[in-house]
Amino acid sequence: MTIKPPVLRPGDKIAAVSLSSGWPSVFTRAYLDGKRQIEEAFAVKVVECKHTLANPEWLAAHPEARAADLMQAVLDPSIRAIFSTIGGDDSIRILPYLDLAAIRAHPKIFLGYSDSTVTHFAFLKAGVASFYGPSVMAGFDENGGLFSFTADSVREMLFGSISPVLVRPNADGWTCESFHWDDPSRNEKKRTLRPAEGWHWLQGSGRHRGRLIGGCLEVMDWLRGSPVWPDSSVWQDSILFTEISGDCPSPLAVTHILRAMAANGVLGSVRGFLFGRPYGDPSCFAAYDEVVRQVLAELGLQNLPLVTRMDFGHTDPKVVVPYGVEAEIDCDMRQLRILESPVSL
């Protein structure tokens, strides 16, 4: 049974943690813009941990300090949630310093995406629900105000709502455009949105239920065989959600990662496959759709529900996806529902 962290409320205190990249100290304006927009949108207070704004070279050399910040936030009774400041590529180095028993004993909301997949898997191993969604500098920063689609999803998932929740496709347009990190007007201008095309329902019929597990595909690949990789029983009858990073791995690289997950028994265990909109050139999206379908076909899973180009991960605006919570894919109605509240009310 997944433990659900307590719901967020206006006035609560949120800890901002730098678990991978030290960019908050380099591009401080971008960090502060994200912090301000969180506070204005949700009436909460964002505070830094001891090393959140540390020098990036020092932070890179001290994964134990990054882990200590996370554990301090977990144990601090005044902190009600923990938001990742930004992704990166080496938060896997914090794993030896995490106390999973403490995370389980003191469940807190954890929000982030990309390299934060490492921390999500640690929370999942501890049995605590967490949330794949925007980080302070990527999702909450930029655009001169939050996208309403993202803000509404944050409220639904973190601040409590009546279940079930129908997850709707973004209809207002999407972007992966980003202004330069040191652009002083980064958060004063709107990004250009591409037309919303809806999700792509590629295969499957009927209704399928399972608990949501996933994250950034490349980071999941790094985690295979690590202490936080979920047991086979956790994958059984789950719904896999995944997406690729801004590094844009090729369709062939995605094929190789998915085949490795198939060899581990993951793909043969799931009830559905949700794939986020890839980062980058839309002309490449069909190639990613095809390789996912190809790997599923290799396993005889031509009837497994497969939905692609969804609004989570390295795209904006993005929806928040909760871990360890039961969801339902209705292929005939082309709907995704979160069937239970991911927070304790």
Do 235 and 87 fall within a single domain?
A: no
Specify the pLDDT at position 144.
Answer: 82
Task: Give the tens place of pLDDT for each residue, 227-245.
Answer: 999 999 999 999 999 999 9
Which contiguous run of DSSP H or E holds residue 84? strand 79-84
State which of 112, 130, 164 marks the end of a domain: 164
Q: How confident is the model at residue 160 (pLDDT cuts 50, 70, 90)?
A: confident
Do 132 and 178 fall within a single domain?
A: no
Let me know if residue 91 belongs to a domain.
Answer: yes
Do 206 and 326 fall within a single domain?
A: yes
Let me know if residue 330 belongs to a domain.
Answer: yes
Which CATH number is 308's domain given? 3.50.30.60
Of 145 and 78, more confident: 78
Which CATH number is 155's domain given? 3.40.50.10740
Specify the pLDDT at position 180.
Answer: 86
Do 98 and 241 fall within a single domain?
A: no
Do 113 and 258 fall within a single domain?
A: no
Domains: count for the chain: 2
Do 199 and 329 fall within a single domain?
A: yes
Let me know if residue 122 belongs to a domain.
Answer: yes
Which residues form the domain of 215? 167-338
Let me know if residue 1 belongs to a domain.
Answer: no
Q: Which of 106-115, 119-128, 139-148, 177-186 has the lowest mean pLDDT?
A: 177-186
Instruction: Please state at what angle helix 28-42 crosses helix 148-158, rounded to 10 degrees.
Output: 60
Task: Give the tens place of pLDDT for each residue, 94-117.
Answer: 999 999 999 999 999 999 999 999
Q: Give every strand in the sheet of 200-203, ordered side by side.
A: 165-167, 335-338, 326-330, 207-216, 238-243, 272-276, 306-310, 200-203
Do 215 and 260 fall within a single domain?
A: yes
Do 264 and 116 fall within a single domain?
A: no
Do 26 and 119 fall within a single domain?
A: yes
State which of 164, 191, 207 marks the end of a domain: 164
Q: Share the mean pLDDT of the chain.
A: 96
Do 111 and 153 fall within a single domain?
A: yes
Let me know if residue 204 belongs to a domain.
Answer: yes
Do 312 and 221 fall within a single domain?
A: yes
State which of 132, 148, 164 marks the end of a domain: 164
